[in-house]
Amino acid sequence: MVLLILWRLYGYSARLLKTKLFRTAASNISFPEVWLLLVQYFERVPGFFWVVQRNSFFTMSEILENKADIELYSPHPEVRGMTTLDRAAFKRTIVVPILKVKKEVINKLLKSLKHTTLQRPGLKRVIDDPKDEDSRLVLLDPHKISAEYSLGESEQEILKQFSIDPQVSKYNLELTYDNFKTEEVLRAVLPEGQDVTSGFTRIGHIAHLNLRDHQLPYKHLIGQVIIDKNPGITCSVNKINIIDNTYRNFQMEVLAGEANMITKTRENYITYEFDFSKVYWNSRLSTEHGRIIEFLKPGDVLFDVFAGVGPFAIPAAKKKCSVFANDLNPESYKWLLHNCKLNKVDKKIKNFNMDGRDFLRGPVKEELTKELSLLTKERKNTLHIVMNLPALAIEFLDVFKHFLDGKPCSTDLLPTVHCYSFSKHDNPAKDVQERAEAFLGTSLEGRCSTHLVRNVAPNKEMMCISFQIPAEVLFKNPMEPASKRLRPNEDSPEEKSTSLKD
Ligand SMILES: C[S@@+](CC[C@H](N)C(=O)[O-])C[C@H]1O[C@@H](n2cnc3c(N)ncnc32)[C@H](O)[C@@H]1O
């Protein structure tokens, strides 16, 4: 009896929907819209409301025409405001269309009807037919079915080919927590109308979230949902301060899962292991790391002043470059050594744990002097200095003023610096160039390139400025051919003319 009334109401609602309430121009109203309208109707009829509730159908008073899609796959409304995850509370029954199909043709049919079958996480779209063991029931997507509960022409054509009766029936499908997507779960829990962005960065088994203030009351639940819905993630953390400390790592709070911060991740085919809570790591820099490595060829020398756990140094060593890597943070240094061993490049990299200025004035100067003391024709390799500490690195550039003065050096093939900086300026390239020039005490006009690495925040860019250090910066008196000073007996006409080349 109840079913009969339901069916009549369904037909009535379909007509109503087409003509009055939603003033839709669509001629084929989909089943979910009709069903939702029906449920709304029940809400106003106390007797039916009880029946509906008992079957876990929920009433939705704020259904909007174009929200039918979201609403159909919404978990039970009682989860709104939940702060401790109760997976069982998400259960909800919806009505979906089904098609009875002989089991011999099921695989072929599924291929042809793949856009019409129901696709939900963790849900089988083919189930046994309790009344006929030779048949199966195929769950269909309610959005692909018309209000008259029939399939479209092309689908009907496919069914004809397989001699399948095109009659579509209804099936009460119970959706559980496992069948909802992260966004659907969070949209149902968080206050209505608020942003539920569930993005995170993955570092091995750790999901790193950056929650907004309005999401904080739900932080543990959000962290658990991310773990549940992403295989391989067993821990979720939220950043609790901005990166403004010396070692550029940030304090974090474990939201859910095991509090194991030692993680292993891969970047550009290289494995890195480190304690994520104690060192700097940013997966968004992988392209930039790769870009710099592209400049290098075997035999080149790379000096990495702020090396972290090695994402420039290790790939450079893998490319058969000589590498000098440094980081002030003892933890970064420890994991840098570890990663050198892990990637079998510990013989190719000399590691240091000192302040960047001391590193430049000590090991870098010593090696540069050695390299530049060779005549250009003997030395084909290039020298690169990477300085990735965007908040401060530019201020370290003054170290290069008269850096090699008094040293017997060639002014050919001088080192190229790749220095990173943040900029909030309207013209970040110009801003970074001007600041670099101020610290170097010379103009870089026409002899530098700037690259936008990434947008860090609204109106804040991370830039990389690359330039060969001008001879007039490195040497007080660059006019004097360095090779002459070095090897007076080997003077050649070309070497005598070596001057301001940078
Ligand atoms: C932004 S991270 C870059 C790490 C790595 N190069 C990368 O691309 O992922 C900057 C690194 O500089 C280190 N650092 C900060 N101040 C330093 C200093 N004065 N001297 C040397 N290293 C420093 C930090 O410990 C951190 O590992």
What pLDDT score does 242 carry?
66
> What is the best residue among 286, 353, 388, 389 to mutate for testing ligand 1's pocket, by most ligand atoms within 8 Å of CB?
389
Query: Using a 6 Å cutoff on CB, does residue 246 contact ligand 1?
Result: yes
In the chain, residues under CATH classification 3.30.300.110 are 182-260
165 is in an annotated binding site: no
Query: Using a 6 Å cutoff on CB, does residue 327 contact ligand 1?
Result: yes
Give the domain 290-496 fold.
Answer: Rossmann fold (3.40.50)
502 is in an annotated binding site: no
Which three-class secondary structure state does DSSP give residue 128? strand
Note the Cα 295 to chain centre separation in Å. Answer: 25
The pTM assigned to this predicted structure is 0.78
Which residues in 87-244 belong to E strands, given as ranges?
Answer: 92-102, 126-128, 135-139, 168-175, 201-203, 206-209, 235-239
Locate 103 and state its tokens. Answer: 């089991």
What pLDDT score does 377 carry?
65
In the chain, residues under CATH classification 3.30.70 are 92-175
Give the domain 182-260 fold.
Answer: GMP Synthetase; Chain A, domain 3 (3.30.300)
Query: Using a 6 Å cutoff on CB, does residue 22 contact ligand 1?
Result: no
Query: Using a 6 Å cutoff on CB, does residue 353 contact ligand 1?
Result: no
CA 297 to centroid of ligand 1, rounded, Å:
24
356 is in an annotated binding site: yes
In the chain, residues under CATH classification 3.40.50.150 are 290-496
> What is the best residue among 201, 243, 248, 278 to mutate for testing ligand 1's pocket, by most ligand atoms within 8 Å of CB?
248
Which three-class secondary structure state does DSSP give residue 94? strand
Architecture of domain 92-175: 2-Layer Sandwich (3.30)
Is residue 35 within 8 Å of 68, Cβ to Cβ? Answer: no
Is residue 174 within 8 Å of 204, Cβ to Cβ? Answer: no
Look at ligand 1, atom 16, and give the residue with the nearest C-alpha: 246
**CA–CA gap between residue 126 and residue 103 (Å, rounded):** 10
CA 388 to centroid of ligand 1, rounded, Å:
7
Q: What does DSSP assign to residue 124?
A: -
CA 74 to centroid of ligand 1, rounded, Å:
45
Q: Tell me the mean pLDDT per 10 residues along the chain, length 502.
A: 45 36 31 40 31 23 38 87 96 94 92 91 94 94 81 89 90 96 94 84 95 94 97 94 70 94 97 96 96 97 98 98 97 98 97 98 95 76 97 98 84 91 98 98 97 96 98 78 41 30 26
Ordered DSSP codes for 201-245: EEETTEEEE---GGGGGGHHHHHHHHHHHSTT--EEEEE-S-S-S
327 is in an annotated binding site: yes
